[in-house]
Structure 1
Amino acid sequence: MTLVPSLPPSLPFFVYGTLRPGEPNHDHFLRGRTRAEEPARLHGAALYDGPGYPYAVEGPGIVRGDLVTARPEEYAALLVALDRLEEYAPGDPRNLYERVEREVVREADGTPVRAWVYVAAPAVAEGLRRRGGRITTGDWRALR
């Protein structure tokens, strides 16, 4: 009997940095591959400024971003592309980010939605908490 690895659930993505509409990676990775994009927020995380991109660090705070729902026919390829962009590989201790399932809230109506979020990997998060530049507004665009 051959075991087939289980695929992760097809959840929308919560993006808060270079993948947001109007940001550089949005057009490259998301344009034409999404069914919906809407403002949302992630509770239970703080935002830190990184080297040209932000990190969400789990803990007290709110991160503002967008909930992106992929077109079904694009989902598998988009998941692979975003994992590569974020340099995420399951179980790799060198990860900069971890892809985690979290609840985010739609800005329009307050509806909670389960989504994939790329958060700072534990070692990165620890360093940011100690000496990183926290974005107090929770909105990376506020710095730009």
Structure 2
Amino acid sequence: MTSVALPFFVYGTLRPGEPHHARYLRGRTHATEPARLTGAVLYDGPGYPYAVAEPTGVVHGDLITALPTAYGQLLAELDELEDYVPGDPRSRYERVARDVRRADGTAVRAWVYLAAPPVAARLRTAGVRIAAGDWLTRG
């Protein structure tokens, strides 16, 4: 897959205040804003979430725009964090381009890490769904 310089939609441990935000994103972003992904639901990992494609769902998160000078390295590091290797059936996540909505309703194309098909199938069968679609309010 070509690595087009899209912003990232993050919905779990990469969100501001969460453990991976400071490690991966601090000082490497141009903008962070609330956003939502329609057509997906959220499952507990546990300890981290998985977004799974589901036509009627909504996942709440943040749209992260990386600094151009940090983009290539950040993309590689996030792929590694999310255990995503293009074409590898053992990947836990897939990085896909999806439209997400800003708070004002405008659509933005962004990279989203969705649960890979085998993981998604297991979660649909036996996973713990986060009903509100928001990792920060999973309580």
Scaled to the shorter chain, the TM-score interval is: over 0.9
The one of 72, 83, 88 aligned to 1:92: 88
Q: Does 1:20 align with 2:20?
A: no
Q: Does 1:50 align with 2:38?
A: no
1:12, CA displacement in angstroms? 0.1
Report the structure number with the largest CA radius of gyration. 1
Distance 1:140 1:51 in 2: 11
More divergent stretch after superposition (51-60 vs 27-36): 51-60
Query: Any unmatched runs of 5+ in structure 1?
Result: 1-5
Residues 1-144 of structure 1: pairs in structure 2 closer than 5 A: 7-59=2-54, 60-107=56-103, 109-144=104-139
1:51, CA displacement in angstroms? 2.0
Which whole-Å deviations, capped at 9, do the CAs of 1:48-73 have from their partners, x for residues lacking one? 01121000000130000000000000
Instruction: Give RMSD over aligned pairs.
Output: 0.9
Misfit runs of 4+, over 3 Å: none
Distance 2:22 2:77 in 1: 13
